Amino acid sequence: MTPPPSDGHDHAPAGAGAFSHAGVTAESGPTGAAGSRWAIVVSRFNGAITDALFQGAVDALIEAGARPEHIRAVSVPGAVELPLAADAVAEASHGVAGVIALGCVIRGETAHFDYVCQFATDGILRVQLDHDLPVGFGLVTCDTVEQAMARAETTPGGHNVGRDAARAALELAGLVRVTRSS
């Protein structure tokens, strides 16, 4: 098992072990992407951060076996626009195995941060439930640019939330597929 990143969080790597107690073991899904189609929706706001998240998500999908021509990527102005774009891609992309939503919101001096985070979070959840489709949640919400950079793996010891979101969507897609076929 890979040790957790130096930020102190356990980022739930696939295959890191299962929960088990009293003879009951929790399943996790296979994480292969070969032959499947994926969509990525990425916000242009805080572009240096979201570009790194995008690269991490694409890398994770390709490492899992997805072909670049089977990854559809669209960009939107900001985090508030992520849900509608994710909804449109999910609806238009028949046969897509999942969507990865990527954005970055950094706290300012007003309550705007809270509204943007809530709108984006609620909307992305709705897309997942309304379309019965895995949506990787790659929205970085931080107090400072430095925190955001660490979550985009642009600083030593950081990790990439875009990669995390893609891996989570891959695993959920596999788990849903296996669960529904059994």
Please say if 159 is a catalytic residue.
Answer: no
Please list, in sequence order, all residues whose beta carbon lies within 8 angstroms of the beta carbon of residue 134, skipping any fewer than 6 positions away. Answer: 97, 98, 99, 128, 168, 169, 172, 173, 176
The closest alpha carbon to 141, from 166, 115, 163, belongs to 115
Phi first, then psi, for residue 2 (nearest 5°) are -75, 135
- Decide if 12 contacts 73 (C-beta within 8 A): no
One of 21, 70, 94, 112 is an active-site residue; which one?
Answer: 112
The closest alpha carbon to 128, from 80, 180, 90, 78, belongs to 90
Sort residue 22 into left (φ over 0), alpha (ψ -120 to 50) or beta: left
Q: Which residues pair with 101 in a beta bridge?
A: 41, 137
Q: Which residues pair with 104 in a beta bridge?
A: 140
- Any idea which residues carry the catalytic annotation? 112
